[in-house]
Amino acid sequence: MKFDREDLLLYAVTDSRWLNGERLYDQVEKALKGGATFIQLREKELDQEHFFEEAVEIKELCARYHVPFVINDNVEIALKMDADGVHVGQDDMEAGDVRAKLGSDKIIGVSAHTVEEALLAEERGADYLGVGAVFPTGSKTDVDVLDGGMIREITEAVHIPVIAIGGIGKDNVEKLAGNGLDSLRNLTLACASCNNEAGHLSARQKLDLAMRRRLLTIANELQEIRDELDGRRLPRT
């Protein structure tokens, strides 16, 4: 499946621990109605049979909204039920092996924490990177928070889209503006936002604003380059 950078604008990750009595299907649909542009199904406790059944159901839902759907880690499930792709971590199957299994038309995302990991993932066929954690997160207590300098180094080193991971909410999303990120992936807010459409809309509105500011900065930088080049072309007097 081909996808655009815009598909990564608001990347939602499921977490069944925060269902609060609702069905995951209903929460994902709320996220889609609230503006989610990409869904990752993340299940660490389900057995293979129930994981497969859930994946098929969520994939059909995402297809109705024309939103890409990927599976976290489980390449075999993704292959069996024909997901749009897979997202893997550094301790999971290597990106090149995932590509060999899924083929050239599937989406592969890879988590990266250093420039070296990012470059290797890109070289081995990743379509996008998940970088973080960018803020402290309750969903993964064994990860360190990356500083803004490392995030920028990674975004400047690779040519594929980079999305942010970890602890992102509507109250801190603007702090990431200017880091070269293509999206904000939120491990701790993803399901909380599924419960609250307004939360998704608010986050997306703030992200849109941050991205517009980034585009304005780029436009200004390009204009400065043009002005400098025009100055060099002026005839000598």
Tell whether 198 is covered by a domain: yes
Residue 222 domain flag: no
Is 33 tagged catalytic? no
Catalytic residue of the set 30, 111, 183, 193: 111
User: Integer distance in angstroms from the first to the last C-alpha of the chain?
Assistant: 58
| Assigned domain for 221 exists | no
Instruction: Look at 98 and 3; give whichever has higher pLDDT.
Output: 98
Task: For residue range 58-80, list pLDDT tens digits in order.
Answer: 999 999 999 999 999 999 999 99
Q: What angle do CA 181, 198, 171 make, to 5 degrees?
A: 50
For the chain, the domain total comes to 1
For 148-198, how does the pLDDT look when each residue is reduced to its tens digit (9 = 90+)? 778 888 888 999 988 887 777 666 766 766 666 655 543 223 333 444 433
pTM to 2 decimal places? 0.76
Give the Cα separation of 117 and 167 in Å (integer): 21
DSSP code of residue 165: E
CATH number (domain holding residue 146): 3.20.20.70
Q: How far is CA 181 from CA 19, 129, 144, in A?
A: 29, 10, 19
Report whether 52 contacts 77 (CB < 8 A).
yes
List 42, 59, 99, 204, catalytic entry: 42
25 is in which domain, residue-wise? 5-211
Report the chain's mean pLDDT, rounded to a whole number.
78
Structure confidence at residue 11 (pLDDT): 85
Helix and strand totals (H; E) in the chain = 8, 8
Alpha-carbon distance of 183 to 210, in angstroms, equals 10
Is residue 163 assigned to a domain?
A: yes
Residue 42 appears among annotated catalytic residues: yes
Q: Is residue 234 part of a domain?
A: no
Residue 109 lies in a domain: yes
Q: In the annotation, is 106 catalytic?
A: no
- Chain segment 109-161, per-residue pLDDT in tens: 999 999 999 999 999 999 999 988 777 766 655 567 877 778 888 888 999 98
Q: Which pLDDT score, from 0 to 100, does residue 37 have? A: 86
Query: Which entry of 124, 140, 152, 214 is annotated as an active-site residue?
Result: 140
E strands, the chain, in order: 10-13, 38-41, 69-72, 85-88, 107-112, 128-132, 162-165, 183-186
Residue 229 in any domain: the answer is: no
Structural domain includes residue 235? no
DSSP 174: G
108 strand-pairing partners: 86
Instruction: Find the radius of gyration of the CA atoms of the chain.
Output: 19
